[in-house]
Structure 1
Amino acid sequence: MILSITTLLCITIGIVSYYSFQDMSLFEKLEFNSYKIVHKSEYYRLFTHAFVHGDWNHLIINLLVLYSFGSNVEGFFIGNFGSLGSIYYILLFVLSLPISSIVDLIKYKDNPHYNAVGASGAVSAILFCSIFLNPWGKIYFFAVLPIPGVLFGAGYIYYSYYMGQKNSDNVGHYAHLTGALFGFIYPLFINFNKFLTHFIQQF
């Protein structure tokens, strides 16, 4: 049995996060730190921060969303592009990691004490790519209330921007926002006319 890319991503993130819970040196080696990226050229942190998480709740929520919506996006890409669709899906995940970190990279480049972890930026990208592909598909808010994806997305964007401006908690809201915006327009980079037409037809 061949596992899907989404399943393999979830397993890998889960394993690395689990070991980082036991080994703080591994956690600190992989976490996002703008100062070390900019001033010590540790560029790998732009990618590895997605594989470590703050706690079990953080990890489980990201894995659930990644698996649920990643499976849909992966299936859509493969269904439309065959094996090339797998490459498009992998690129969506990989590119979303540094792109979702751009704002914090610039904002905290001279702050050696700012750290961030988690796959939330990439997960947001995949979630919003799914919304682009199926804007009226239901998203269950708090796993209970069904909301059309496009309406959930609008609320998510507003909330992420508002909380990012407020800067009153320890959540990377700008990573969520930037990842979401990238994921939403990502299909247009693959085939602008095809996917713009697809999006319009959904309405």
Structure 2
Amino acid sequence: MREYLINTPVASIIFAFTIATSIYTFSNHQLFGRFMLHPYSVSKGQRLHTLLTSGLIHRDWGHLLFNMLTFYFFGFSLEALLAGLSTWGHLQFALIYVLGLVLSDVGTVFKEKNNFSYYSLGASGAICAVLFSFILFDPKMMLGIFFVIPMPAWLFGVLFLAYCVWASKNARDSINHDAHFYGAIFGILLTIIFYPWVIQHFIQRFTG
């Protein structure tokens, strides 16, 4: 634990705080409701805090487990990687996560601004930002989809974004597919802003 706090302090705090907050709100429905993103209210300048707090809670144990496993595998690795590239690496990681979370919800706010009954929650947008940032540095890394199916990271990225576009228009589930898509895009853009050379690096790793 001490090693994680020293080497990856931002990821450690996010990981612990998100788990603790999510578990606490499982039984505190009042706080759960106050933390959920409500685009209708946000579009009217109300409950702006939910652009952040909605990423601290999850629908159920399965939702929390999937997101935190993904964050564990890629969040800590990305922060360590960025910290090795720059003295600002820890701050850059924090910005990718936080801005990925907030900006991934902006599209949802515009799309659902007139839908009073729509609510959204979860850290998926931020985690997609982290995941796709990491993919830029190692596009041929093998991912275990559903922890079973092997697939190179670049192919997963293409299929994931295509699915998000399709699901946003056609799926009738409770998942905010728009947040996944925008989180991934903003994760890529922020990483390129921090490290413009990563584009050439990605191409070289992809073709090499």
1:56 aligns with 2:61: yes
Deviation at 1:152, TM superposition (A): 0.6
Paired amino acid for 1:21: F
Can you list the C-alpha shifts for 1:11-63, whole angstroms capped at 9, x where unaligned? 10000001110100100111100111122422111111000110000001000
Q: Which residue of 2 aligns with 1:157?
A: 161
Q: Which residue of 2 aligns with 1:43?
A: 48
Secondary structure in 2 matching 1:139: strand
Q: Which residue of 2 aligns with 1:102?
A: 106
Compared CA separation, residues 188 and 40, structure 1 to 2 (3 A): closer
Identity of matched residues, %: 31
Q: Which residue of 2 aligns with 1:195?
A: 198
Contact kept, 8 Å, 1:34 with 1:104, in 2: the verdict is yes
Q: Which residue of 2 aligns with 1:183?
A: 187
Unaligned residue ranges in structure 1 (runs of 5+):
none
Paired amino acid for 1:74: E
Contact kept, 8 Å, 1:7 with 1:67, in 2: the verdict is no
Q: Distance in 2 between matches of 1:189 and 1:165?
A: 30
Number of equivalenced pairs: 201
* CA root-mean-square deviation: 1.2
Q: Which structure 1 residue ranges, 4+ long, deviate > 4 Å from structure 2?
A: none
Q: Distance in 1 between matches of 2:195 and 2:149?
A: 33
Compared CA separation, residues 121 and 14, structure 1 to 2 (3 A): same
Pick from 17, 25, 31: which aligns with 1:20? 25
Q: Distance in 2 between matches of 1:155 and 1:107?
A: 23
Q: Distance in 1 between matches of 2:151 and 2:94?
A: 28
Compared CA separation, residues 25 and 40, structure 1 to 2 (3 A): farther
TM-score scaled by length of structure 1 = 0.95
Secondary structure in 2 matching 1:77: helix
Q: Distance in 2 between matches of 1:135 and 1:40?
A: 40
Deviation at 1:186, TM superposition (A): 2.0
Deviation at 1:139, TM superposition (A): 0.7
Contact kept, 8 Å, 2:21 with 2:56, in 1: the verdict is yes
TM-score scaled by length of structure 2 = 0.93
Contact kept, 8 Å, 1:33 with 1:45, in 2: the verdict is yes
Contact kept, 8 Å, 1:32 with 1:46, in 2: the verdict is yes
Q: Distance in 1 between matches of 2:44 and 2:106?
A: 15
